[in-house]
Amino acid sequence: MKIKRVCIVGGGSSGWMTAAAIAKLCPHIKVTLVESPNIKTVGVGESTLGHINRYMRLIGLKDEDWMPACNATYKNSIRFTNFRENNGTHFEYPFVDDYDFSFSGGLDLITWSELSALYPEEFGPKTFAEFHALSNTLLATHNRQTNNKNNKLRYFNFDYDTAYHMDATAFGIYLRDKVCIPAGVTHIKANIIARKHDDKGIIHSVLIEGDRDIGADLFIDCTGFRSVLLEGWQSSIFCSYKNILANDHAWAVRLPYSNRIEQMHNVTDCHALGSGWVWNIPLWNRIGTGYVYSSRFITKEQALIEFKNHLKPIHKNVNVEELDYFHIPIRHGKRAKAWLGNVVGIGLSYGFVEPLESTGLLTTHENIISLVGILNQRNGYVSRTEREVYNFTVNRAIDQFARFVSNHYGLSMRQDTPYWRWATQKNDYDPELNGIHVPRDDYNAMAYSTVYGDQAMNPQMQGMNFIMAGMGVRPVSSEHMFIAKHGKNPQDEDARRRELEQIKNRFFDEREKYVKYIKTLPTHYEYLKENIYGGVDEHDV
């Protein structure tokens, strides 16, 4: 298959992100994007992970150029409140390019767990993030921001250890106007009516309104959950994640700021409720928030009441009852093949896990990068093997994301509602789940075998380590386990105790110095105002 022409069906963030990447990195390919003039998008704010920085660099975007157009802010961490227990506690999952092992003298991840076993009051679940990513965890804790040009922080790389909150709809428009159209992408606003294809399912062209044919060698489906081309025309089977993920709907709303300095956090706050969780995404111009819940355990009306009751004590200056709420159905799962024939699904048209951990945009830009790599490496020539490799790669990735997200619920200690009891103790043989796709357990097996088999967390499973520790899981769970680990030689045990005492003191001394320094840095809002928004905030006028 020689690809010289690509037709992207559907706009939005996934369509224009795909068009921008191909236009920038595959200049030998002619790109046409067709989007319906009738599809409306309602943006409530989108959260990203650090992986998006690679996409931004590939297409040459600079923060100071695109962020103001998208009301974007920075994100240093994900905060999980009430996920472990329903008692108001939280833990951080900071972005970190490399673990900070300096406190432990270059030792492995087991050190924190040994400290936790010997000093449980001082090294609770929350301290894992501080111990292994002190700089970014404290930046998130104190809502401060800095960059690589002017900071004294060790193991903090602004270019990799921050991501973004953004208006994804505005981001798509920015890419359309500033990247795609100037690069020669043809933009057509029209509805797709039909397709012309051969008996093997290869599409030659799509018919749009006005009886016009749009021909291409490769068609990219960016039609969202409808998956018009990939699932509808190509019959790529939908595989649900219903067996491991319960959340299937969301209530969402936009909120005004009452105190921008305090409320514009550099974290995505995820707050667990009785039948799901609430996201809080602070954009430059407003706050986007929503309640992701499971209709198996709560009705649409009950969920809205619970959501409003959550918002009222937090946003006392806002009349929560008069806000404009909208309801969003969620279809979590994937299509069995992301690339079938000459159709590739990108974004929701291929698959979606759920909003937790920002996997929506994550799978989008990572799959775009994989696709562009294939289109670019041999000047548009694509073999069956390359299509199979692409399908294997993206299928394995989204399955692992699904398992990773499910562990945020499955590892919880909460048992206070039917929702949390199902999430933590669900029966694998539930008749309701028969015939539903089950992602392979490789991810869970890796996580738990490294903890309980080798008695050490796995550095390659960076994110999972933060979640497991935050949920209270640790390889060395008590002083008795510590003693057993060091065998029968009391001299070895005493030596290790003395070493850990030194590490403990060094860690707390260093943390005190870092807190003192970080409090001198600008707040997240102040940093954005000065470095991204030109020192002016029209919302303060």
Distance CA 344, CA 5 (A): 14
Q: Are 346 and 18 in contact (CB under 8 A)?
A: yes
Structural tokens at position 360: 């929506």
Residue 428 clears pLDDT 70, i.e. is over it: no
Two structure tokens written together for 138: 């404290």
Contacts of 349 (CB under 8 A, 6+ apart): 10, 14, 221, 222, 223, 224, 225, 226, 227, 228, 229, 230, 231, 335
The pLDDT of 295-320, averaged and rounded, is 96
Strand, helix or coil at 293? Answer: strand
- pLDDT for res 454: 43
Model confidence over 61-90: pLDDT tens digits?
999 999 999 999 999 999 999 999 999 999
Mean pLDDT of all residues belonging to the chain: 89
Buried b (16+ CB within 10 A) or exposed e, 369-400: ebbbebbbeeebebeeebbeebbeebbebbbb
pLDDT for position 98: 78
Give the whole-number percent of the chain exceeding pLDDT 90.
73
CB 289 within 8 A of CB 281: yes
pLDDT of residue 348: 94
- Tell me the pLDDT tens digit for each residue of 479-497: 877 877 776 677 778 888 8
Confidence of residue 366 (pLDDT cuts 50, 70, 90): very high
């043989």: which residue's tokens?
429
What residue has token string 């048992």?
415
Give residue 435's pLDDT band: very low, low, confident or very high (50, 70, 90): very low
**Nearest Cα residue to 511 out of 95, 216, 142, 62:** 142
Residue with tokens 């291409």: 216
Amino acid identity of 103?
Answer: F
